[in-house]
Structure 1
Amino acid sequence: MKNIMWFREIKKEDIPLVGGKGANLGEMVNEAFPVPQGFVITAQAYFKFIKEKGIEQEIIKKIDAIEVEKTDELEKVSAEIRELILRTPMNRMLEAEIKDSYSKMNQRKIAFITTREEEFVAVRSSATAEDLPEASFAGQQETFLNVKGRMEVLDAVKKCWASLFTARAVYYRKKQGFETEKVGIAVVIQKMVDSEIAGILFTAEPTGDTSKMVIEAGYGLGEAVVSGSITPDTYTIEKGTFKIIEKKIGKQEWSLERAEK
């Protein structure tokens, strides 16, 4: 199985490899939506990492022993696992694959000259669980925005892997009875858009009315909307006609923007 998959190679059947986020990006690219370029470091790469480096059994043993209702113990052990992942060196071949893929994203052709200028990227977690299609991990793992440079990307990938073991994520999986060895994490590497306005489209109205869509939007990067840090503008739209049924303008006093241009 591949360690790296470009969006154009991914289909919805690849959820076990690339997670829901990765699979959706692949589907959109293959339907010709205007999606910023990117690739996914598959869950297979994560599983190889913990197996080849000999830390899988240590992680499983620690998770199995946790009493999740004991908050101090949960925080302590989950932090130990994250530190274990962060201090364990990545396989050199995988490092090279990630660096090479990131470099390919940065290639630009001007006339007959190919140039390379390092791009800002988003490094996004996309958790997945083998044989558990009903599992939901939304918002439990980390995303890193405006990452630039090959070593910085590698560092962010490791942090995404480690975020599989936040106290919140461990608590959820233990309560759901998920087996640690079946839960993996893919990592999406995607070109950043230095947006002036960004938001979220809900293809069904959140209360369940499928005849309507809702857009929430705000100034700057979309993370401010996603995290709930701002009160966004909200537009309720009728499907089919795309008529705006309702509009609520939020008061936004700040925006999340890239400092370096």
Structure 2
Amino acid sequence: MKSWVDASELISWFDDAACEDPEIAGGKGASLARLQRAGLPVPYGFVVRAEALVRTLESGERHRRVSGLLEDASPDALPARAKDAQALVMEAPLVSGLDSEVVRAYERLGEGAVAVRSSACAEDSETASFAGQQDTFLNVRGSTAVLASVRRCWASFFSERAVFYRSRKGSLGDLRMAVVVQRQLAPEKSGVMFTVDPVRRRRDQMVIEAVQGLGESVVSGMVTPDHYIVSREGELKRAQVSTQTLAIVAAAQGGVQEVALDPAVGGARVLSDGELADLAQMGSKLEELFGSPQDVEWAFENERLYLLQSRPVTA
């Protein structure tokens, strides 16, 4: 690593070739860049490269101090050590010029609502998926909030949960994590898709789960999603429709909020046959692109399908 870096080199856009490198953009960022460059529907955005966190921690030898806190910590000491590491990250001055470059990139996106998402460099390998171990911040509005959310993503890389997970995988010494900033959707419906049946390992069918609004209602456990099994051609084989009384949506002031669903909406199927067919067709494209079965996050906004993530199905 060279001793000095121009802060503009710490930002990469989804359509930059370099952004497909997970060592630069992390697992999530690299996946989104590959989708974008393949011409697939992705909310556009940029990545604060993994090197930015490393450079920021070099100030005051914080990199060495964080590494020292974590690498020799016993399981009992890990919670306190993780908290100390997070404090070092939160107080570290940003590498020179990075704040201006992030703000400039956010302005190029139109200064609207964005999702700020952690993207660890060890994330989403087929043998050890780190997905979900770090934080995501939705419907972030304004340059000050974007900068704060980037730093909070970095800090989440050193949360007790994330540190414990990485300690089990032997990757505590790797302090590289990128951050994705992309246009925030306001979807009518969202969910996940497995391009193989993850339980039965059947390659002839796909499994799709869907909720009204943002997919965070599934992550939080607040809502039981609809569950669909479809053929690879998108023909519905089985549907388990769940009554959904609540949805998570973008809040006017930023962030998200829970809203009550009209019973007629909450009790109906989330996805139409046509939408299921669109998802199945997209699933086949993703398998062809990545060369393996995929675990996909998706959303429909204004009846258009968007991809939010695609990663290998893990055991």
Aligned match of 2:181:
189
SS at match of 2:250: coil
Aligned match of 1:5:
12
1:17 partner amino acid: I
2:132 partner amino acid: G
In 2, the alpha carbon distance for the partners of 1:257 and 1:179 equals 35
Note the 1:103-114 alignment, pairs <5 A.
Answer: 103-106=107-110
Aligned match of 2:168:
175
Aligned match of 1:109:
none
Aligned match of 2:242:
250
In 2, the alpha carbon distance for the partners of 1:53 and 1:18 equals 25
Aligned match of 1:119:
112
In 2, the alpha carbon distance for the partners of 1:10 and 1:190 equals 17
Query: Is the counterpart of residue 141 in structure 1 residue 145 in structure 2?
Result: no
Q: CA deviation at 1:92?
A: 3.6
Query: Is the counterpart of residue 210 in structure 1 residue 210 in structure 2?
Result: no
TM-score by length of 2: 0.73
Identity, % of aligned positions:
37
* Higher mean displacement: 79-88 or 225-234: 225-234
Q: CA deviation at 1:258?
A: 1.7
**One of 204, 208, 212 as aligned partner of 1:219:** 212
The change in CA–CA distance for 1:146 and 1:126 in structure 2 (over 3 A counts) is: same
Q: CA deviation at 1:36?
A: 0.9
Query: Is the counterpart of residue 87 in structure 1 residue 91 in structure 2?
Result: yes
The change in CA–CA distance for 1:15 and 1:143 in structure 2 (over 3 A counts) is: same
In 2, the alpha carbon distance for the partners of 1:45 and 1:133 equals 26
| Residues 11, 27 of structure 1: 8 Å contact kept | no
Q: CA deviation at 1:176?
A: 2.2
After superposition, what is the alpha-carbon deviation per residue over 1:174-200, rounded to whole angstroms, capped at 9, x for unaligned?
2222241x2411100011111121111
After superposition, what is the alpha-carbon deviation per residue over 1:111-168, rounded to whole angstroms, capped at 9, x for unaligned?
xxxxxxx3111000010149x8854211100000010110100000000001111111
SS at match of 1:162: helix
TM-score by length of 1: 0.87
2:138 partner amino acid: L
SS at match of 1:54: helix
| Residues 10, 23 of structure 1: 8 Å contact kept | no
In 2, the alpha carbon distance for the partners of 1:234 and 1:91 equals 46
SS at match of 2:61: coil
Aligned match of 1:24:
31
SS at match of 2:97: helix
Unaligned stretches of 5+ in structure 2? 254-315
2:229 partner amino acid: T
| Residues 27, 122 of structure 2: 8 Å contact kept | no
**One of 50, 53, 70 as aligned partner of 2:57:** 50
In 1, the alpha carbon distance for the partners of 2:188 and 2:239 equals 20
In 1, the alpha carbon distance for the partners of 2:205 and 2:74 equals 44
In 1, the alpha carbon distance for the partners of 2:226 and 2:192 equals 11
**One of 141, 153, 164 as aligned partner of 2:146:** 153
In 1, the alpha carbon distance for the partners of 2:211 and 2:85 equals 36
Aligned match of 2:40:
33
| Residues 129, 183 of structure 1: 8 Å contact kept | no
In 2, the alpha carbon distance for the partners of 1:129 and 1:194 equals 29
Number of equivalent positions: 244
Runs of 4+ in 1 over 6 A off after TM superposition: none
SS at match of 2:15: helix
Q: CA deviation at 1:65?
A: 3.0
Unaligned stretches of 5+ in structure 1? 107-117
SS at match of 1:178: coil
SS at match of 1:8: coil
**One of 213, 219, 234 as aligned partner of 2:227:** 234
Q: CA deviation at 1:12?
A: 7.9
Q: CA deviation at 1:53?
A: 4.6
Q: CA deviation at 1:23?
A: 1.2
| Residues 24, 49 of structure 2: 8 Å contact kept | yes
